[in-house]
Amino acid sequence: MKIRRILLAVVLALAGLAGFAAPSAATAAHTVTYNKYSLMLDGRRILVQAAEFHYFRLPSPDLWRDILQKEKAAGFNAISVYFSWAFHSPAPGQYDFTGVRDVDRLLRMAEETGLWVIARPGPYINAETSGGGFPAWLKTVPGRARSSDAGYTAAYHDWLAHINPIIARHQVTRGGSVLLYNVENEYAVNTDAVYMQDLQDTARAGGIDVPITTNDCCDAGSWSSTWGSGPGAVQIPGVDDYPQSFECQNASTTWGPWGAGVTERVRDDAPVFAAEYQAGSIDLNNAGYEACRDLTGVQYTKFFQKGNMVLSGATGFNYYMGFGGTNWGWIGQPNDVYTSYDYGAAIDESRQLTDKYFEFKRQGYFLQAVPPLTKTDPSTAPVAAGLETAARTNPDTGTQFVLVRNGSTEAVSSTLAWNGYSLPVTLPGHDAKVLVGGFDLGGQRLVASTSELLTTAFINRDVAVFYGAEGTPGTTVLRYSNAPTVKVLSGTVSSSYSNGNLRLDYTHSGLARVLISGGGHRPMLLLLGTDDTAGSFWRADTAGGPVLVRGTSLLRSASVSHGSIALQADTSAPGAVEVFGNGRDLTVNGRPISTRTSPSGSLEGNLPGPRAISLPALDGWKQAAEAPEAQPRFDDSRWTVAGKTSSLSTFQPLTQPVLFSDEYGYHAGSVWYRGRFTATGSETTVSLNAITGKRGDYLVWLNGRYLGSAAGGVQADSDVPANPSPGAGKFTIPAGLLPAGKPAVLSVLVQNMGNNDDWTAEDSRFRQPRGLVGAAVDGVPAISWKIQGRARVDPVRGGLNNGGLFGERAGWSLPGYRDGSWPSATFAVPAGVTWLRDDFTVDLPRGQDTSVTLRFGDAIPQGYRTIIYLNGWMLGQYGAAIGPQTSFVLPAGVLRQNGRNTLALAVIAEQPATVTPPQLAVAGSQRGGVPVRDVAS
Ligand code: IPT
């Protein structure tokens, strides 16, 4: 054990030689300090490059590792994680940290992957989650939320008492990977310093000893000592920037409407920290997430992020989101998002790498290659006519970082006057570069370059990869004590030597290779690429030295020992692979690969691609209609009596009693109401009112007769005048339906689409009711009500998976349900609730990562909504009223990849309809992947 620990420590120390090593299977305890420039780990400056990841949006823990490895492979050294209170607590005092909620496992995985963690346990998290992460039961707890009021305080103390110990034992100070602890979230509209201070005191009392930060809203710093040195100030102020805003439908014309995206320096005793920097967008206007990816595409990622690097001097970055994931179950906040939380992120919802991922990789590798960036001051920038320039310099090493940006949409060619040179530069429209000069690059001295540095490594000799936009000029100047020998191995590069400087001129194209030897330095291989060729490099740092790889679609990890290089890598097609590393033999995913040595000193070989996939047709559908609750004689004796007369919501019930579903412990999904009264026979109209959140509806029956449906109310914002009648529906009672003097039963099925968030820290918004808010039948003095929602908390899927449809209560969504007596589907459904079930078997190639989706027709039908369950896991909602989504990710693990699966669809129809069933489709398949076990179902 002890030897193992020492070995790991050696590995860690070796890894530490290359750039900013994040933890790797961390064991040793570290200290974290900071000053104006950066955080420091054991006194060594670090730069934090984090990607936001929400474990609760990926219900297959083995796939967490896939995402973490992909983030790591893009040069991220950290993840930022919200911990969702609602996700862990279905009821007051009940907490679950098992299975898909096992955050201890998540933090272990982060350690194993070598990623630091910025832990963000709220209690309020926003994040387009229902209630902003507040459990819905909090709506019934007295005391203003996000304040120091007693009731709220007791509630969040219980949450923190559960989550803080888990976070605390994974801190870097205890050998783990949690580096920062973030309290609250954009707590800027209504502020209570006693509350902010208590969150920090509670964390400290709970063993949190890493620096505490908070993310402030909207380019502005607060909760810092300069803003108010009183209670509530955090150690490291973080600032959120979303320069592109969220109008994905205007992607092609939008450029920075929310500002320059330069993270503000809030105070001088802490580093600048971009706590959330926009890296995607919510799809506010149903444009689809590809439009959001365009809004925040490669040009945006270059222009704004590189600008921020130099203009802000930030040494902590967190990109929101790195991977968005899925609002499965009822975790989403319906006003801003539908099922998919793809976010237009660099890694898409089906876990595929997009173009933007490769831009993140270029930037991430660069940041790791230039330690002097952790301590810089603004300096005089070289000038290039027609282009924006700015510079920072490290006061100790003199290393310069020069931003060159083109704010126009057309390419600009200019000359950069820098360090005594006139260097031609061309930038495509909306492009940006961060150039480095005065830098010790391995055993070399870089004077200046108009190519950007991707990475540098010592692999038998110095290897450096530089790049620039295809077809643009590049110049690199290196210092030598006498003329070196320059050998161009491939490409066109001219060189000249004078006064100790070697100048190389070239046009960025493909991948040029130049071997430089002599000149008083150790030899160097210079690789001069384009955005694409540079972006194709993968790097892993091993105990046996760094490894550079080209030709795989991903490099997950590498090891080098006794002359053998072993890669864990994915391929999306068969093809050539090239590996630079300290070895003569190569294995990929355990398979020996035959190789030859190239003139560049690398190993070259060929790798197989993925095997073909065949998916079964979904053609065995069975069908059953339900909604017995609509029938007058239905037995509701076990249902909850709805008889309350008041609630804590500022929204006053329109009629008595209070029918808000949360008051009766029903917090998610569908909820049924049955109201009884004695008819006079002369009633004409049922008047109802329901609040569902955006995208919801409700359906109404009287004495078993379907009366129709209405859209549920929204009332998303407290800043619009309150709508006294948000979700009104009037239903005519057919003549003769209500015999005089006879009991009548009114049945109503209401969707609860999720709760509003509490972004502005106003109770009115988050406590807004869900369910019926008013119910009357003309001439009827009183209706007595019963209510039924979810039957129980699903022990593996949790409290947000199910609502209270009859089929959900009776297990129709579950894989084990016996549907043998159900007839084959006709797909003709009446108004009301109809279920479709299909069992299917898949047998996907092993050792291959296949992402499967459920595809519906592109023309989204009106008039009904479909709730999708795979093996009992509620994975989405499809319908015209819900959003533009037609394709739903079926995460591996929830999808049994080699076995039998059950799909169940609950169709809630506002009128009779014919349903077009979905089919399975492949979103991507790569040889490789991580082992994925079936998630308990
Ligand atoms: C910022 C929130 O902090 C984050 O939780 C998420 O909601 C994000 O917005 C939008 O996706 S708030 C910022 C836009 C003012």
Which residue, chain included where needed, has tokens 């690097």?
309
Ligand 1 atom nearest the C-alpha of 343 is 11
Q: Which atom of ligand 1 is nearest to the CA of 185?
A: 3
Residue 210, pLDDT above cutoff 50: yes
pLDDT at 841 over 90: yes
- Residue 333 to residues 248, 718, 756, Cα–Cα distance (Å): 18, 16, 6
Tell me, what CATH number does 343's domain have? 3.20.20.80
**What does the pLDDT read at residue 762?**
85
Q: How far is the CA of 235 from the centre of ligand 1 (A)?
A: 21
- Whether 264 is covered by a domain: the verdict is yes
pLDDT in tens, 486-519: 999 999 999 999 999 999 999 999 999 999 999 9
Ligand 1 atom nearest to CA at 126: 5
Q: How much helix, strand and coil, in percent to the nearest 5, is found in the chain?
A: 15, 35, 45
- How many domains does the structure of the chain reveal? 4
Distance 174 CA to ligand 1 centre (A): 31
pLDDT tens track for 672-720: 999 999 999 999 999 999 999 999 999 999 999 999 999 999 865 554 4
Is 247 within the bounds of a domain? Answer: yes
Q: Which of 111, 128, 247, 276 is catalytic?
A: 276
Residue 777 has pLDDT above 80, yes or no: yes
Cβ(276)–Cβ(215) under 8 Å? yes
Cα of 769 vs centre of ligand 1, distance in Å, is 23
CA 218 to ligand 1: nearest atom = 15
> Among 52, 85, 128, which is best to mutate for testing ligand 1, by the most ligand atoms less than 8 A from CB?
128
Confidence at 18, pLDDT banded by 50, 70, 90: very low
Query: Do 234 and 109 sit in the same domain of this protein?
Result: yes
Q: Which two tokens stand for residue 267?
A: 């105070």
Tell me which DSSP letter residue 936 carries: P
Report which protein residue has its CA nearest ligand 1's atom 8.
127
Q: How many angstroms is it from 760 CA to the middle of ligand 1? A: 12
pLDDT at 602: 98
Do 459 and 321 share a domain, yes or no?
A: no
**For all residues of the chain together, what is the average pLDDT?**
94
Site of tokens 């706590």: 275
Give yes or no for a contact between 835 and 883, defined as CB atoms under 8 angstroms apart: no
Distance CA 225, CA 241 (A): 21
328-356: per-residue pLDDT in tens? 999 999 999 999 999 999 999 999 999 99
Residues flanking ligand 1, CB < 6 Å: 126-128, 185-186, 215, 217-218, 240, 242, 276, 282
The pLDDT of residue 188: 81
Residues 704, 570 share a domain: no
Classify residue 359: in a domain, yes or no.
Answer: no
Q: Confirm if 806 and 878 have CB atoms less than 8 A apart.
A: no
Domain-embedded: residue 620: no
Average pLDDT in the 412-421 region?
96
CA–centroid distance, 242 to ligand 1, in Å, is 8
Q: Do residues 223 and 304 share a domain?
A: yes
Inside any domain, residue 366: no
- Same domain assignment for residues 779 and 826: no
Percent of the chain residues topping a pLDDT of 70? 95
Q: Pick the atom of ligand 1 nearest to 82's CA.
A: 5
pLDDT at 724: 72
Q: Whose CA is nearest to atom 6 of ligand 1?
A: 127
Q: Which of 183, 215, 218, 242 gets mutated to test ligand 1 (max ligand atoms within 8 A of its CB)?
A: 242
> Which residues share a beta bridge with 837?
622, 904
| Long-range pairs, 262-266, Cβ under 8 A, ≥24 | 262/307, 262/308, 262/311, 262/312, 263/239, 263/308, 263/312, 263/314, 264/219, 264/220, 264/221, 264/239, 264/312, 265/221, 265/312, 265/313, 266/216, 266/221, 266/222, 266/224, 266/226, 266/227, 266/237, 266/239
Domain of 466, CATH number, reads 2.102.20.10
581 located within any domain = yes
Catalytic residue among 71, 128, 186, 629: 186
Burial 392-430 (b: 16+ CB within 10 A, else e): bbbeeeebbbbbbbbbeeeebebbbebeebebebbbbeb
pLDDT band at 10 (very low <50, low <70, confident <90, very high): very low
Query: 3-state class of 3 per DSSP?
Result: helix
Final residue before a domain boundary, out of 332, 349, 366: 349
Q: What share of the chain has pLDDT > 90, as a percent?
A: 91
Decide: 448 and 565 in contact? Cβ < 8 Å.
no
Asked if 395 and 498 sit in the same domain, the reply is: yes
- The Cα–Cα gap between 920 and 852 comes to 7
Q: How close is the Cα of 335 to the center of ligand 1, in Å?
A: 13
Tell which atom from ligand 1 comes closest to the C-alpha of 321. 11
CA end-to-end distance (rounded Å), the chain: 37
The residue whose CB lies within 8 Å of the most ligand 1 atoms, and thus the one to mutate among 126, 284, 757, is 126
**Ligand 1, atom 1, residue with closest C-alpha:** 127
Give 429-448 pLDDT, tens digit per residue: 999 999 999 999 999 999 99
pLDDT of residue 753: 97
Kindly tell me if the per-residue pLDDT of 14 is higher than 60.
Answer: no
Residues 203 and 298 in one domain: yes
> Counting atoms of ligand 1 from 1, which one is nearest the CA of 240?
13
Q: Do 781 and 820 belong to one domain?
A: no
Among 151-155, 520-524, 765-769, which is the least confidently predicted range? 765-769
Structure token pair of residue 684: 């004409």
Asked if residue 807 is part of any domain, the answer here is no
Distance 254 CA to ligand 1 centre (A): 19
Is 276 a known active-site residue? yes
150 alpha carbon to ligand 1 midpoint, in Å? Answer: 27
Q: Per-residue pLDDT averaged across 546-565, rounded?
A: 97
Q: How far apart are the CA of 127 and the centre of ligand 1, in A?
A: 6
d(CA 762, CA 206): 28
Neighbours of 182 (CB within 10 A): 27
Same domain, 327 and 401: no
Round to whole Å and give the CA distance between 316 and 320: 13
Q: For residue 282, which atom of ligand 1 is closest to its CA?
A: 11
Q: Extract the tokens encoding 718.
A: 């407290």
Which tens digit of pLDDT belongs to each residue from 637-674?
999 999 999 999 988 899 999 999 999 999 999 999 99
CATH of the domain at 707: 2.60.120.260
Final residue of a domain: which of 607, 640, 666?
A: 607
Residues 826/625, Cβ–Cβ less than 8 Å = no
Among protein residues, the one with the nearest Cα to ligand 1's atom 14 is 242
Residue 796 lies in a domain: no
> Best of 52, 146, 276 to mutate for ligand 1, by most ligand atoms within 8 A of CB?
276
Q: Whose CA is nearest to atom 7 of ligand 1?
A: 127
Atom 9 of ligand 1 has which residue's CA nearest to it? 127
243 alpha carbon – ligand 1 mean position (Å): 12
Maximum C-alpha span of the chain: 110
576 Cα–ligand 1 center, Å: 42
Q: Which of 58, 727, 710, 11 is nearest to 341 (CA)?
A: 58
Q: Give, using CA atoms, the residue closest to atom 10 of ligand 1.
A: 127
Strand partners for 836: 623, 905
pLDDT reading at 229 higher than 70: no
pLDDT at 878: 98
Tell me: do 736 and 848 sit in the same domain: no
Whether residue 590 sits in one domain with residue 471:
yes
- Please report the pLDDT score of residue 219 as a whole number: 62
Question: Is there a single domain that holds both residue 280 and residue 391?
Answer: no
Tell me which residue has tokens 């387009």. Answer: 128
Which pLDDT value is given to residue 389? 98
Q: Which helix (H) or strand (E) holds 312?
A: helix 298-312
Ligand 1 binding pocket mutation candidate from 246, 318, 320, 757 (most atoms within 8 A of CB): 320
pLDDT of residue 865: 98
Domain enclosing residue 663, as ranges: 627-788
Give the DSSP letter of residue 817: -
pLDDT for the residue 8: 35
Residue 24 has pLDDT above 70, yes or no: no
Ligand 1 atom with the smallest distance to the CA of 215 is 3
Whole-number pLDDT of residue 231: 85
Q: Which of 120, 185, 239, 284 to mutate to test the pocket of ligand 1 (most atoms within 8 A of CB)?
A: 185
What is the Å distance from ligand 1's center to 867 Cα? Answer: 27
